[in-house]
A and B are shown apart, each in its own frame.
Chain A
Amino acid sequence: MARIGSSMLAWAGWRMRVPESWRPLRIEGEWRKGSIIVGDAAEAIMQVKWMRVTRKNFDAARWARRRLKKVRRAPAAGGPSPKGFPDPAWAPADPDAGRGAFWYGYAPAAGLLVGVLTSAGVSRKGQRAVASTALPALRASGRDDPTRWAVFGASFESPPGFAVRRRRVHLGDVALQLTAPGRSTLLLRQVYPAALALARRELPLWLEFPVFKEHRRFRPADVQEAWRVESFGRTLEGLRRQGRKQLPFPLGVCAPRWSEAAVVHDAELDRLLIVEYDAAGRADKDRVARAIGAMNWAHFEPGGKR
């Protein structure tokens, strides 16, 4: 069942399967608009651009035609046609003429425009992999569906309505901070290999140090307690804590937030999974459990490593 030699790349509502040696080289932008340059150890292979469209009468075909016209290319027939992207525009690469490939598609269910570009200098093997492997596997999450994220070997799922605000993509430490209307913040983080992480810092301490700078300081409402959570048919064990986050004195009474956080050790994947959910009202323990439970979905889905 496992598809050898491919890995999942997912960001800001789109996802695709790419060859295993490919990795993001540069991530720019934010939830509404941005781009990722993807490549392997030898070269930058493609750039994936995305843009959220809020206009109701958006004419995606016209937009794509104009985009191709700008780069003096004419749309060609028979290009990759991934599911959920009706009528994509495609201009194949022509290395002999010094031209890269352009693909533009619009997913109406997600309100997401995606463009995949390769330059003329990319190897023929890379061009082929974009057209035959990456693009046909492109998918977009619907507006009301959870958003999936996958970068390197770490994958996350965020609830609908949450948009990425800050990110940290380091080897062995991937963290996303997402915000939703109503002053809710969700932090999703994976640290690996867990054996090394736990040798450096004990499990309870992984909840103590914020990964992104915060003005509010945490005040515990209770002590950390042992916690269990279900994840893809397995029971993961760890700790959870609850408390309030307040601005320093004398602003402590201004806009305090409830905070619910948990850290679990996934021994099978050798990872620490950390989630922190802050909200103006009482923070939702179930949301933390769901976020942890859905982590590493790419590993367990058909075609994943398991």
Chain B
Amino acid sequence: MKPKRGLDRGAALAARPEAAPLVRCEERENGGALVTVRLARRRWLRWLGGPDEVEQSFGLDALGREVYEACDGKSSVRKIIRDFAARHKVSPAEAEIAVTTFLKTLMAKGLVVMAVDKARVK
């Protein structure tokens, strides 16, 4: 059986999230934004015809936008957490839960991809 590949906590925090290429970003009144990205369609949908890519919009509040904009492919998850905790005066433990949960959501939606150091993948 093929061994399951995984990341330890250190490697996950050292990963660098990068936002998907933006089509447009509309400002919102509450400081948030409506971001539109181009995402690849599922393969079975492509077989049914239509375009290979589709535009999708996601509403982010002010804090969500801040984390999303920090996903520049250069800053590590650890740095994003540290900056978030310092900016909003919350404990690092609290910031870690909030930021990592949000990044997981962004990854599931296809808004963010993670660049992981290959040597650290077990």
CB distance from B33 to the nearest CB of A (A): 13
Using CB atoms and an 8 Å cutoff, list the residues of chain B in contact with chain A.
9, 30-31, 61-63, 88-94, 96-98
A-B contact count (CB 8 A): 54
| Contact A152 B94, beta carbon cutoff 8 Å | yes
Q: Of all chain A residues, which has the CB nearest B93?
A: A23
Closest-CB distance, B51 to chain A (whole angstroms): 36
Residue of B31, B92, B98 touching A21 (CB-CB under 8 A):
B92
- The reply to whether A269 and B97 form a contact with Cβ atoms under 8 Å apart is no
Q: How far is the CA of A171 from the CA of B96 in the complex (A)?
A: 11
Complex contact B31–A153 (CB within 8 A): no
Inter-chain CA distance A271–B88, complex, in Å, is: 9
Which residues of A are found within 8 Å of B61, using beta-carbon distances? 196, 199
Asked if A145 is an interface residue, CB under 8 A from chain B, the answer is no
A40 at interface, CB cutoff 8 A: yes
Q: How far is the CA of A42 from the CA of B94 in the complex (A)?
A: 14
Q: Which chain A residues (175-213) contact chain B, with CB distance < 8 Å?
A: 192-193, 195-196, 199-200
Pairs A-B, 3 closest by C-beta atoms:
A23-B93, A153-B91, A193-B88
Interface presence of A41 (CB below 8 A): yes
User: Which of B30, B31, B62, B93 is in CB contact (< 8 Å) with A40?
Assistant: B93
CB of A12 to closest CB in B, whole Å: 20
- Helix, strand, loop or mixed for chain B's interface? helix
Cβ distance A191 to chain B, nearest Cβ, rounded Å: 12
Residues of A within 8 A of B93 (CB): 7, 20-23, 40-41, 152
Of A7, A199, A269, the contact of B89 (CB 8 Å cutoff): A269
Q: Is A301 an interface residue (CB 8 A)?
A: no
Extra 19 A-B pairs, beta carbons < 8 Å, given A23-B94, A152-B93, A193-B90: A7-B93, A20-B92, A21-B93, A23-B93, A41-B9, A41-B93, A41-B96, A152-B91, A152-B94, A153-B89, A172-B94, A172-B98, A192-B89, A192-B90, A195-B62, A199-B30, A270-B88, A270-B89, A305-B89
Q: Complex: how many Å from CA A200 to CA B97? A: 21
Q: Which residues of B contact A271 (CB under 8 A)?
A: 89
Cα distance, A269 to B86, chains bound together (Å)? 11
Residues of A within 8 A of B91 (CB): 7, 20, 23, 152-153
The interface residues of chain A lying within 8 Å CB-to-CB of B90 are 152-153, 172, 192-193
- Chain A residue numbers with a CB within 8 Å of B97 are 23, 171
Question: How far does the alpha carbon of A120 sit from the alpha carbon of B98 in the complex, in Å?
Answer: 30
Instruction: Tell me which residues across on chain B come within 8 A of A196, comparing CB atoms.
Output: 61-63
B62 touches A42 (CB 8 A): no
User: Cα distance A305–B62 when bound, in Å?
Assistant: 25
Q: Which of A258-294 contact B (CB under 8 A)?
A: 269-271
